[in-house]
Structure 1
């Protein structure tokens, strides 16, 4: 029996390599210390992809057809950010590091549009492995809460974010495919139930809210069927059961945590993310403005790199040394606002709104309908993530940009 290895071009292998390292390097690092350095090889792969785009003049294809307006927006955003920051550079190294942290995903996104052969099957094939890994970490290794990441390993504080992104992608996929009669009710229930169980075990409280948002938009952008009623009832039942499990796993959790009043107070509290007076997810603007002080800083920010921090290599900006207690670097939204101001954050959030609009338009092609419905929701969920944590500035953002590129890639077909 022979094993068939897919034939890929060099650029396609680079994309596969980036996804492999993004997903599995943290798991390997959980067992073998020091392997985290593998993440920096992604930068090498990304650079090679960028050089291929330039050398083969593939950039011309990006400014044609469905990707044109998105490519223009991204290039204008990058150009503006660099231009406005040049006169404010305090540390050249941190300036370059900020360019890397903020814009590396767009090179990967463009590369996926040009050369990607895969689709959501990539994520679908990892569902069982992820579920088994979560149970292994919880039952055998005795890991709890932030230390549970499934296929992303079990290093505390580093693995919840990619696990959350993974659950968002696979549940969005499953909801859309079920509503479009491309997935059985049994398969849908198994995927959703396992995701709820994982969320309870890994203390991903936000996932219950995220799933409700996913469900809402899925119902809005798909045709009405009896399945919509079934899926809503299934969600309510699943949420009740999994929340009971969450309180078993976390008996210290406030019984009122998921009440509307509690969530509003938590989201707007001046006590901040940790309850100690640091940045909060929904009132960060007023807190940042107290630091920025001038209207000029509020409009254009302090400049790329001037709020940057690179703990792995020991680089810290003066701003971070002064304001690290605010934990502004824990949230993508606060980081972007501090460095690029109102203009930057409008362009940043605007990109994902543009993604949503353009992807909905791409869905008018029946061959691209399901991919477009999935990715339209993912574009909106990315905005949620920008408020929730800093995952869209980390290595795991590649997962989301891989998915968002699927409707734009050449010769799209609705395959599972």
Structure 2
């Protein structure tokens, strides 16, 4: 006798994983239809599945050129997947429920808590309202600024469409562009308005909605939370350090920064420092970067954005916790202290777990692809980390991947968007409370 699946008994992580998988499947079916392509032909289902995964997981890696291959309908489907994937399908569902004045159940609040990476359910529905308002406001302003600039290069209607698409894509840290021929923003490498608008959209999308809310309400609260202080300080540090390193490495490279004037060099260095924070768009040709720059970009992509944002990676707070642990151990202290607050042991264990699982995933996928793809190791590592961090930057490898490689990278994007820990909770057996503890033992470390 057939047994129906009781979704009410599913854990929040399992609901999240299943929900994202369902959205990707629906998106893949739509993108494989003839109306989604510019010439009316069907896109291979594997390539449609890859594109839908990349859009829903707000990555930006593409096996076909978004600007030339897809029709307007196909591009709008990708845009919708980006918006749903960036904000989260539970967030979108909650917004519809609020509009219809439907009560949000305890189970739904638990799933929202997991989706927004929050430690408690308190104020979770209020946060969802803020997420929608902040996202819509930022995307509208970004779209208007882009439209003004693009209107000098194309008809106003087309400029408005391009402005909307790229504002949504960049704020959600997706990295998709429709300029055609995988060019990204290379034609605007020295344009201050396009660069600054893009960078602001990327940074705001990557800070996390809690931090944005905290900044907007600073007059009311009189201070920033520890989360906001850590995120802002770490984000600022990574951007500045990244820009300096990229500027030094690429200063004399005639194919990247070498041919630009000083102002354009600085602008491009900052853009290339910000975009690995899971944005995926570019103003320089990444196939022409030095290997040292590519490897440094891998590190930035692995760290990624901040919790509760549209970005991926292990997150800035995780990286800050690891640095704090190293500093505390180096000074012979037991506690990690940040801004006069002590971090609990559970935060440290979680940071270590996330980092080790993420490293294992990146290393495992890279080793696997080196056996199936005839490409340089650095390029494979770059592409793998870009997929895990849901970045979307490419060293030119993605369109050349074998079918097996495309499946592996698609799964990596999926794991990177949801997080290895969430996947482990969703796919693993239900944990039970331990009834006893083992005696403490000691081993030599280091």
State the TM-score, normalized to the length of structure 1. 0.32
TM, length-normalised to structure 2: 0.30
**Greater relative contact order (Cα 8 A, min sep 6): structure 1 or 2?**
1
In terms of fraction of residues, the more helix-rich structure is: 1
